[in-house]
Amino acid sequence: MDRTTGKPAAPSLHLEEQLCFALYAASRAMTTAYRPLLEPLGLTYPQYLVLLVLWEVDACNVRELGQRLQLDSGTLTPLLKRMQAAGLVTRRRRRSDARVVEIRITQAGRALHAGALQIPACLIRHSGLSAQNLTALRGSLTRLTGSLASHPEGDSP
């Protein structure tokens, strides 16, 4: 409450009080923390995310992959082309519908799974948070993402 007007106080525009900035800084820090863990595998963070999906399902189409990773095809296509050139995935148009591009993990992509097994535990140790706190944080962020995605325009001022 604003003491002078008796109305609710206006939200602060101080950088340090912005949730968006805290999420942005945390995202950058997380990506930076992954870099030395992924480097020995020859992967970038976005490539690791693609492989996480393909280690689960072995194959899917670009649309399905984009939905899982929350990426559009314009972002995903160049990434998948680089991964194909590196021998980690194959990309093939579906015979029954040439508009659909199927992505399949290769043996070389599967082989990276064993080297990636220690990555989640390393990140938990580096985070300074307990596994329970990280699980709760992930749940909160997932709910936040869902809420914001259901209102993409936000409220008009």
Q: How many CB atoms lie within 10 A of CB 154?
A: 7
| pLDDT of amino acid 2 | 63
The answer to whether residue 155 scores a pLDDT higher than 80 is no
Strand 89-93 to 59-61 pairing: unpaired
Q: Please report how many Cα atoms fall inside a 13 Å half-sphere around the Cα of residue 39, on the Cβ side.
A: 7
Could you tell me how far CA 73 lies from the centroid of its own chain?
15
Give pLDDT tens digits for 99-152. Answer: 888 999 999 999 999 999 999 999 999 999 998 999 999 999 999 999 998 986
Q: Which two tokens stand for residue 112?
A: 């990276």
CATH architecture of 20-128: Orthogonal Bundle (1.10)
Domain ranges of the chain: 20-128
pLDDT band of 22, cuts 50, 70, 90 = very high
Give pLDDT tens digits for 25-55. Answer: 999 999 999 999 999 999 999 999 999 999 9
Could you tell me how far CA 100 lies from the centroid of its own chain?
23
DSSP letter assigned to residue 15: G
Question: Could you give the 3-state DSSP secondary structure of residue 92?
Answer: strand
